[in-house]
Amino acid sequence: MNVLRAILKGIDLVSEWSGKLVSWLILVLMFSLAYDTFMRYLFRAPTVWAYDISYMLSGTVVLTGMAYVTLHRAHVRVDVIYMHLPQKVRLIIDLFFHIVFLFPLLFILLAGSINRALWSWHIKELSDVGFWYPIIWPFRWMIPVALSLFILAGVAWFIRDLFLLVKGTKL
């Protein structure tokens, strides 16, 4: 039991620190967008890199933040009915949706994102969205990393809920 607690604590630590670390990218994102806006409207000299930087940074923040949000159980849910149900029923609903929807979806996305990241790295893919054409494979690798963190946080949530349902106490 102590080993399981240690593993869950380790997953929680990774989820917490990945969320805190990636949150600093929001400042970089804000600075780059503010700089581009300043240059565009005051000097009529927009940057060629701001658009590419913005979608890569915002995608990284959102994807990597999923593990942090899962750790704190802060995902959006419709609580109109759910909050009035007994705790055991809520646990069963959560466990069911983890098994039937969340884990299969995340593993499908993870497999696809790993294949895409490998392909992107192999061909040294460049972004063709903006005017700058930066390399995109590092961003492509953030997707499977973030999905892996999300899966780990989901597994920790699932194990804790299962333990609470079976044993009646928190793990």
DSSP string, 1-39: -HHHHHHHHHHHHHHHHHHHHHHTHHHHHHHHHHHHHHH
Residues 147-157 have pLDDT tens digits of 999 999 999 99
Residues 6+ apart with CB under 8 A from 171: 4, 5, 8, 159, 160, 163, 164
pLDDT in tens, 122-148: 999 999 987 889 999 999 999 999 999
* Mean confidence (pLDDT) of the chain: 95
Q: What is the pLDDT of residue 30?
A: 97
Give the pLDDT mean for 106-115: 98
Give residue 85's domain range. 2-167
Say which DSSP state 56 is in.
Answer: H
| Percent over 70 (pLDDT), the chain | 100
Residue 143 near residue 84 (C-beta atoms within 8 A)? no
Domains identified in the chain, total number:
1
Q: Which residue has the higher pLDDT, 77 or 14?
A: 14
**Please, are residues 159 and 4 in contact by the beta-carbon 8 Å criterion?**
yes
* Predicted pLDDT of residue 163: 97
Task: List pLDDT tens digits, range 56-90.
Answer: 999 999 999 999 999 999 988 778 888 899 999 99
Which among 147, 145, 146, 123 is positioned nearest to 135, based on CA atoms? Answer: 123
Q: Are 59 and 41 in contact (CB under 8 A)?
A: no
Structure tokens at 40: 């565009």
The whole-number pLDDT of residue 75 equals 87
pLDDT (mean) for 160-166: 97
**CB 123, CB 136: distance < 8 Å:** no
- CA dihedral for 26, 27, 29, 30, sign (positive or negative): positive
